[in-house]
Amino acid sequence: MNKMKVIFSRKGFDSSYGGFPSIILPDGQMISFPIPEADPECKGIDAKDLKYIINNACTNLDNIIDKKLNSAKKINIPKYKETKNRKGMNGDSGRENGRAEFHYDPQIQEIYNTDNKKLIQYATFGQSGAAAGHLVNNFISPDGLKNNPALFLFFGLFQETKWEDEKKEKLIPYGKPFHAIWGYLIATGAINISSHIDFNNKKTDEKDIKKINEIIKNYQCLDFLKEKDKDVVTNSIKKHPHFINRYSYGNNSKQNNFKNIVFWGKRFGTFNFNEKTKKYLCLSDIDNSNNLTDWLIPNFITKMTYNNTSITKSRENPKNIIDKKLKIKAASKGQEFVIKECSTENELIDWLRKLKIDVQKVNWLKEVNWLKERWGIR
């Protein structure tokens, strides 16, 4: 039986896209800032429309970055910075409204409103071009997910913050920035949107989403327990930037094999960063290095795409194994790091249990049995 795929997936602000770290609030809540939409031909989401809950009150990305961090003018949008004079959220972004827009993906953070009511039933995550091709080459594809789900562990650049004073109006970043895992999605289905649209004969949103819905209606997915679930997934895809900008993501007349994939799943969430979870969520070796890509990964990982050479070389020196972790030089580029091989799958499952994936939303014993079945473990 094939094993479930596990992927470290790079998402959120970094030194190039955005220009500064996402934040960890004083209570441990991790807020990943979606990267700015660099292409002016693509539609993003305005910062005021991205909602978050902080201190039991609803706020938005515009308020967090501009008011609480006072960092709006620091936002870096690299692709069009010189030619379009894109200065940031409040500057000339190369758009008609003069504001930066954001690529909200993966869509897993707007989970609850102030009444603790779940807003997202199926989370979505998009990938296109070479990164999508890399996933497909590792059998993380619409066909591959029908019987074998994939677990995306989203990581990004973060920095801890503290409140300036008791008013809790301003946040002060402190300490070293570091790479950390901030969220996850167990993807049980996917669709390559580029395979189902005609780049030479553009259709309206309504016509294209109708075709997408027909494909999903016939898709065999582990999470489709009821027929209405398929309509919920279709509605989630309709709001995703990889569907909204589908005609800008490649051209079938020139690239017949172009991939623009949207993944979905109903098991997803974000993590809380504290003294207990820090050793599982933090990837950068912040105690011994100032280099973000000096990682400490679980020692049971023996092969991982883009990082195989580093892992093999590190194992040659016993000093690189620290508290059941292996010190490696992680690849500075690449979005999707697929774990190809583990010493034992039981260690991987135990590590996931320590991350408490979905523990608040599903029966964990049932989840473990489900994972064991998919991994073929007895």
pLDDT digits (tens, 9 = 90+) for 304-355: 999 999 999 999 999 999 888 999 999 988 899 999 999 887 888 888 888 8
Contact 329, 293 (CB under 8 A): yes
Radius of gyration in angstroms for the set of CA atoms belonging to the chain, rounded to a whole number: 21
DSSP 68: I
Asked if the bond preceding 106 is cis, omega within 30° of 0, the reply is yes
∠ CA 294-129-309, rounded to 5°: 30
117 pLDDT more than 60: no
Contact 185, 123 (CB under 8 A): yes
Which region among 22-31, 62-71, 323-332, 354-363 has the lowest average model confidence (pLDDT)? Answer: 354-363
Q: Rounded to an integer, what distance in angstroms lies between the CA atom of residue 293 and that of residue 313?
A: 15
pLDDT of amino acid 110: 66
136 phi, psi to nearest 5 deg: -60, -40
Query: Which of 22, 21, 17, 50 has the alpha carbon at shortest distance from 36?
Result: 17
The answer to whether position 232 is within a domain reads yes
pLDDT tier for residue 109 given thresholds of 50, 70 and 90: confident
Burial class (CB in 10 A: 0-12, 13-18, 19+), 377: middle
248 pLDDT more than 70: yes
55 pLDDT more than 60: yes
Can you name the residues that pair with 183 across neighbouring β-strands? 154, 270
DSSP codes of every residue in 272-312: B-STTTHHHHB-B-TTT-S-TTEEEEETTEEEETT-HHHHH
Q: Report how many domains make up the chain.
A: 1
Q: Rounded to an integer, what distance in angstroms lies between the CA atom of residue 40 and that of residue 94?
A: 7
- Counting Cα atoms < 13 Å in the Cβ hemisphere of 148 gives 14
The answer to whether position 131 is within a domain reads yes
Q: Rounded to an integer, what distance in angstroms lies between the CA atom of residue 372 and that of residue 188?
A: 16
- Give the residue-averaged pLDDT of 347-375: 58
How many other CB atoms are found less than 10 A from the CB of residue 82?
8
pLDDT of amino acid 147: 76
The answer to whether position 55 is within a domain reads yes
pLDDT of amino acid 21: 95
Beta strand pairing status for 325-329 and 321-322? antiparallel
The answer to whether position 376 is within a domain reads no
Helix 345-355 and helix 364-375, axial crossing angle in degrees, nearest 10: 150
85 pLDDT more than 80: no
> What does each C-alpha distance from 302 to 14, 21, 281, 328, 361 come to in angstroms?
27, 29, 19, 11, 31
Query: Which of 4, 118, 123 has the alpha carbon at shortest distance from 367?
Result: 4
The answer to whether position 297 is within a domain reads no
Q: Of 37-51, 56-70, 193-207, 274-288, which one has max mean pLDDT?
A: 274-288
227 phi, psi to nearest 5 deg: -60, -35
Query: Which of 14, 308, 327 has the alpha carbon at shortest distance from 154?
Result: 14
The answer to whether position 183 is within a domain reads yes
Domain interval for residue 151: 5-69+100-283
pLDDT of amino acid 78: 62
How many other CB atoms are found less than 10 A from the CB of residue 85?
11
Q: Rounded to an integer, what distance in angstroms lies between the CA atom of residue 35 and that of residue 11?
A: 8
DSSP 356: T
pLDDT of amino acid 375: 44
In the structure, how many helices (H) and strands (E) does the chain have?
Answer: 10, 18
- What is the maximum alpha-carbon separation in the chain? 59
368 pLDDT more than 50: no
pTM of the entire structure?
Answer: 0.87
pLDDT of amino acid 92: 40
The answer to whether position 330 is within a domain reads no
How many other CB atoms are found less than 10 A from the CB of residue 343?
12
The answer to whether position 373 is within a domain reads no
